[in-house]
A and B are shown apart, each in its own frame.
Chain A
Amino acid sequence: MMSFMAAWRKRLRAWRKPSWLARDEFPYSRIAPAVRFSLAGLFLALLLARAMLPDPSRDAQNLPPPPSYETLDVAAGGERATMARLTALRLQSYDAQSGKYLKIASLHTPNLIAWLERSARLDPSRHYPYMLAAMVYDHGDAQRSRALARFVTDGFVAHPDVRWQYLAQIAVRIRHAHRDPGTAREIAAILRRHAPASAPSWVRQLEIFYLEDMGELEAARQLAIGIIESGVITDPAELNYLTKNLLERIERKQRQDR
């Protein structure tokens, strides 16, 4: 065992850097001890100081307003897609600031919307900020949800293909978490008008349910008939559900009201 270790030690001592890696250098022992020790001491002291002392500028601050669109545009230097993503990522870091977590619900809503809008405007083809709006930042009061709904609605009308799901999610949350069927119905109407053919049919029917909720039975009935007659729905089971279940239920309620 000993001889094995000794052999290895000998081999290690004999090892030289390969020629392409080696530089003609003097050993560290040639450096004056004062320089060596002050370098090591200063390095350790700086590391300790940075680790121990709090960083004064990084106190958990509520979300500040974002830089203006023009500033970001100039700073992007043509790389708008990258800047859009970085803006969104920077926004995300505000609820997880160094060691101090801010609740998402406590973020300043107008500034939050401004950050999302910057990101969306820098790269209008991406869905990321709308996803963030619906899935991450829709926490807190009804006012936050309504502001996010306005933001997502604008994006949805421009690109309905993927974004219908984000708007639908906010509509459902406004209806059920904040008990605000009026706003939910307005969003559902926008969804019905602009939803792409690829979206499931319940997206177009959401407005009927909300109208029914609000007691506007005649409007709900007319809308259901309109959807059936428009021929958008081709699935026989779904048509059957709409006529037999939904329409008949609404008409039954209307008769009871009278």
Chain B
Amino acid sequence: MNPNATAARQRISPWPVVRTLARFTVIESLRSRLFWLLGLILLVAFGAAMLAESVSLSESLASRLLVFGTLLRLGGVSLLTVLVVTSLAREAADRQLDFLLAGPCPRWAYALGKASGFALLAAGLAGAAGGLAWLLAIDAGGQVAAWAASLAVELLVVVALAMMVTLNFGQPAAALLALALIYGFARAAPAVVDMARYSVDMQHSLANQAQWWSAQALSWLVPPLDRLANADLLTGAAADPMTLLSACATTLAYAALYLLVALVDFSRRSLS
């Protein structure tokens, strides 16, 4: 490596790069019609929620909120996933990445800058969803703030996960498929572990134990998303605050883990 270049990198602080990258990530997403897409998702969720309310015979308010919360959660996750994957893949394909890294930008600063930009978007999405949910749930006494905060945490881990698979695979199709599988498993992991506990023809055998252990081990690789941002928080179902808090903390730790994995993979990649 050129000693002058190394010296130059060390002299220049990378933090402005992180800030600029975060800013441009947000601007790029806004220019890819984020508001329109978000508006569309909110509109569809709102319409479906109103439909559910109008056809419910009882507890119609709960039906409205449950449908709204579930659809917004799914819509937010899908929207953010596609944004992250396409943004990272496009930068790599356009060789913008090579251009950036040729300057005084360490790889960790690139990863952190992109992650911060997407995290801001995640917070914005969760805020918008929470605002509309608050309007809808105004007379249900639901814990809208808790729901929106846990939705933000879920969106954050989705950002980290999307960065991990995209920086590793490089191909958008492979990344999206992997994301769908991992996210789906994270939502269903406890049920899968329960089902793996018991198998008919090999009860209490080593094979059954191995089956259960492997399901359990796989479930430890994903955050406990089944306990996060559940729509029944909106309906005022009493959620244990400690459970929610511990789920949020665990999920944030997983987000950090995925980002570190992404950084390691990204740092090892040779762009030449």
**Structural contact, A46 and B254, CB atoms closer than 8 A:** yes
Contact A96 to B194, CB < 8 A, known contacts A35-B264, A42-B257, A50-B220: yes
CB of B272 within 8 Å of the partner chain: yes
In whole angstroms, how far apart are the Cα atoms of A89 and B200 in the complex? Answer: 11
Query: Given A49-B250, A92-B198: A26 and B257 within 8 A (CB)?
Result: no
Range of interface residues on chain A? 35 or more
Judge whether A24 and B270 touch: CB under 8 Å: yes
CB distance from B232 to the nearest CB of A (A): 13
- Point out the residues of chain A lying under 8 angstroms from B250, CB to CB: 46, 49-50
Residues from chain B with a CB closer than 8 A to the CB of A95 are: 198
B261 pairs with A31, CB closer than 8 A: no
Q: Are B243 and A56 in contact (CB under 8 A)?
A: yes
| Bound complex: CA A205 to CA B46 (Å) | 61
Are A46 and B257 in contact, CB atoms less than 8 angstroms apart?
yes
Interface status of A36 (Cβ within 8 A of chain B): yes
Q: In the assembled complex, which residues on chain B have CB atoms less than 8 Å from the CB atom of A31?
A: 264, 267-268
Contact B198 A96 (CB under 8 A): yes
Q: Kindly provide the distance from the CB of B2 to the nearest chain A CB, expressed in whole angstroms.
A: 17
CA distance A89 to B240 in the complex (A): 28
Shortest beta-carbon distance from A55 to chain B in Å: 7
Partner pick for B190 among A35, A58, A92, CB 8 A cutoff: A58
With A31-B264, A31-B267, A35-B264: A98-B257 Cβ-Cβ less than 8 Å: no
Chain A residues, Cβ within 8 Å of B268: 25-28, 30-31
Q: Which of A80-99 contact B (CB under 8 A)?
A: 89-90, 92-98
Q: By the criterion CB–CB under 8 Å, are B270 and A26 in contact? A: yes
Q: Is B193 positioned at the interface, with any CB of A under 8 Å from its CB?
A: yes
Which chain B residues (236-271) contact chain A, with CB distance < 8 Å? 240, 242-243, 246, 250, 253-254, 256-257, 260-261, 263-264, 267-270
* CB <8 Å contact, B190 and A57: yes
Contact B270 A25 (CB under 8 A): yes
* Contact residues of B between 150 and 200, Cβ < 8 Å to A: 190-191, 193-195, 197-198
* Complex Cα spacing A95 to B195, Å: 10
B195 and A89: CB pair below 8 A? yes
Q: Is A21 part of the binding interface, using a Cβ–Cβ cutoff of 8 Å?
A: no
Is A237's beta carbon under 8 Å from chain B? no
Instruction: Output the residue of A55, A90, A95 with the most chain B CB within 10 A.
Output: A55
Contacting pair A26 B267 (CB below 8 A): yes
Whole-angstrom distance from the CB of B154 to the nearest CB of chain A?
A: 16
B-side contacts of A97, CB under 8 Å: 194, 197
**Chain B: minimal CB distance from A63 (Å):** 12
Complex alpha-carbon distance, A32 and B250, angstroms: 25
What distance in Å separates the Cβ of A176 from its nearest Cβ neighbour in chain B? 26
Q: Does B227 contact A (CB under 8 A)?
A: yes
Residues on the A chain within 8 Å of B264, using CB = 28, 31, 35-36, 39
Q: Is B195 a contact of A98 with CB atoms below 8 Å?
A: no
Q: Which residues, 188 to 237 on B, are CB-close (under 8 Å) to A?
A: 190-191, 193-195, 197-198, 219-220, 224, 226-227
Q: Contacts A36-B264, A39-B257 hold; do A56 and B195 have CB atoms under 8 A apart?
A: no
> Quick check: B220 and A47 within 8 Å, CB to CB?
yes
Q: CA of A55 to CA of B240 in the docked complex: distance in angstroms? A: 13
**Which residues from B are CB-within-8-Å of A6?**
none
Residues of A within 8 A of B242 (CB): 56
List of A residues within 8 angstroms of B246 by Cβ? 53, 56
- Known: A46-B254, A53-B246; 5 extra A-B contacts, CB below 8 A, are A26-B268, A28-B264, A32-B267, A46-B220, A51-B220
Q: Can you list 14 residue pairs at the A/B interface with Cβ under 8 Å?
A: A25-B268, A26-B267, A28-B268, A31-B267, A32-B108, A39-B261, A42-B256, A50-B220, A56-B242, A57-B224, A92-B198, A94-B194, A96-B194, A98-B190
